[in-house]
């Protein structure tokens, strides 16, 4: 993966697309954004495409997890 790819920005855009809204705040928890369990599955599938080989079982995703925190977890997995 190229260092020039802004994964957080791409994650933000995809989350907004999933929720069918203009934009989402990367500092807000997933639950507050309106992400439900089906949306999380969609998001994980997208993350596998964006970040490469990831282990969804190792992710700590709760209703309070922000997109910034999710991005950081995924960045650590792909190092």
Q: Where are the domains of the chain?
A: 7-77
* pLDDT tens, residue by residue, 20-54: 999 999 999 999 999 999 999 999 999 999 999 89
Whether pTM exceeds 0.85: yes
Mean pLDDT, to the nearest integer, of 7-22? Answer: 97
For 7-43, b/e burial (b = at least 16 CB within 10 A) is: bbebbbebbeebbeeeebebeeebeebebeeeebebb
pLDDT class for 2, splitting at 50, 70, 90? very low
CATH code for 7-77? 1.10.1200.10
**10's tokens:** 């791409």
* pLDDT tens, residue by residue, 45-58: 999 999 998 998 99
């Amino acid at each position: 993966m190229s260092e020039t790819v802004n994964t957080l920005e791409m994650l933000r855009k995809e989350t907004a697309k999933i929720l069918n809204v203009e934009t989402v705040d990367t500092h807000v928890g997933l639950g507050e954004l309106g992400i439900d369990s089906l949306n999380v599955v969609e998001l994980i599938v997208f993350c596998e495409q964006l970040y490469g080989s990831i282990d969804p079982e190792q992710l700590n995703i709760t209703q309070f997890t922000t997109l910034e925190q999710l991005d950081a977890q995924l960045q650590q997995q792909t190092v």
